[in-house]
Amino acid sequence: MPQFVCRLATPTGAVLDRECEAEDAAALRQQLERAGYHVFGVRPKAVDLRLTTALPWRKRVSRKMLLAFTQELLALLRAGLPIMAVLDPLIGRAAHPTLRETLQAVREDIRGGASLSAAAARHPRVFPPLFVASVRAGEQSGALVGTLGRFLTTLKHFLALRRKVYNALLYPSALVVITGGVILFLLTFVVPTFTRIYDDFGASLPLPTQLLVAMTKWLRATWPLLLAVLVAGGAYFAWWRRTPEGRATLDRFILKLPWAGPVLHRYALATFCRSLAAVVGGGTPVVPALEVAAGAVSNAHVATRVRTAIPLVVGGSSLARALEQTAIATPMLVEMVAVGETTGALEEMLGHAADSADEEIDLRLSSMAALLEPVIMAAMGLVVATIVIVLYLPIFHLASVVR
């Protein structure tokens, strides 16, 4: 039976926390109220929620799911419904178990007196900092619908831009995987077959063919060890990638790659600009907005460099000057931010900077795809052709082999 954490007030006025079991939160609340308690809040036990969220088959809520949830939330709020009346149908329609459990916990926190932003902030695996900051700004300004609309637009831009990057890299990646499979098939099945044929003739093989046969025999003999090394190396790399030092090192290295680096740099800047525009447009001051926007950037190196601008802004520097000092912002971004600060249209200029970064990403992706595909095909074709030629070298000397 599900376990819940309840914050209660006894008839004598004492406040206590208690763990209880019940079919659902609503039934538990009614049971406690009939027992004479005043119920401040009922939420699923935090340990249970974290465990179910971490299970491999209980996947993390994706941005697409968050987009659908925000669209439904915005539509119901625009209809004039109070937040408690909004959450009930959203919980009923939530197909993802983690999202459904999280919304139930949010509803109980709100029923206990918490705001929507405070309740959502307790579940960072579901609600990113940008969502929480947008909701908080809307609650403080009384324009929750407007700030959620900005967040929804920003999230749509994120998904569209990420889709462009993934689609551009999908075909070259598929070429590498398919060609690698062909090479592995040649080395593990075709070469041994030819080796047995050549062994029946009992003649010496050309040096390139001997090297190829030796490499094939070595691969077939040591493939369990190689597989174990690859799995262990992959597991270590995945662990190292999750550490702060590993993530920062890898993200810094990625930005220095000849073709992908500039694209991912512009992608990070576009994410930062749209996030900052959404939060600042909702009424959040620049300093906390910078922290939220930096948290929305997936590249750890860019996020770290952006955060170095925060103490400069606190010290009285302009945002444009502070971003220039980070050595990560492009001159165009710095110039647009300076114009936005001067004219009072910072949100609009940040949107223009993000659009400019998107256009540059499109151009770079198009040129990269046009150049990368023939290069990969030529390189992989050369490898396959070399293997085939080396394999057929003894046949070119078939007459001498027969003698």
Residue with tokens 């299970």: 55
Tell me how far apart the alpha carbons of residues 191 and 391 are, in angstroms, rounded to a whole number.
Answer: 7
pLDDT over threshold 90, residue 233: yes
pLDDT over threshold 50, residue 54: no
Please say whether the beta carbons of 106 and 119 come within 8 A.
yes
Between CA 394 and CA 400, with CA 396 as vertex, the angle to 5 degrees is 75
DSSP for residue 59 = P
**78 compared with 395, residue with greater pLDDT:** 78
Give the per-residue pLDDT at 13. 54
Q: Where are the alpha helices (DSSP H) in 282-330?
A: 286-296, 300-307, 309-314, 319-325
Q: Where are the alpha helices (DSSP H) in 79-143?
A: 83-93, 97-111, 116-121, 129-141
pLDDT tens digits for 143-165?
888 888 888 888 888 888 888 87
pLDDT band at 51 (very low <50, low <70, confident <90, very high): very low
State both tokens at 376: 């990969």
Please state which CATH class domain 148-403 belongs to.
mainly alpha
pLDDT over threshold 70, residue 9: no
Q: So where are the chain's domains?
A: 1-44, 148-403
For the chain, what's the residue count? 403
pLDDT over threshold 90, residue 193: no
Give the per-residue pLDDT at 50. 39
Give me the DSSP letters along 156-215: HHHHHHHHHHHHHHHHHHHHHHHHHHHHHHIIIIIHHHHHHHHHHHT-PPPHHHHHHHHH
Tell me how far apart the alpha carbons of residues 120 and 73 are, in angstroms, rounded to a whole number.
Answer: 13
Give the per-residue pLDDT at 257. 86
pLDDT over threshold 90, residue 235: yes
**41 compared with 100, residue with greater pLDDT:** 100
Tell me how far apart the alpha carbons of residues 349 and 357 are, in angstroms, rounded to a whole number.
Answer: 12
CA 249, 255, 258, 264 torsion-angle sign: positive
Give the per-residue pLDDT at 10. 67
Mean pLDDT across the chain:
82
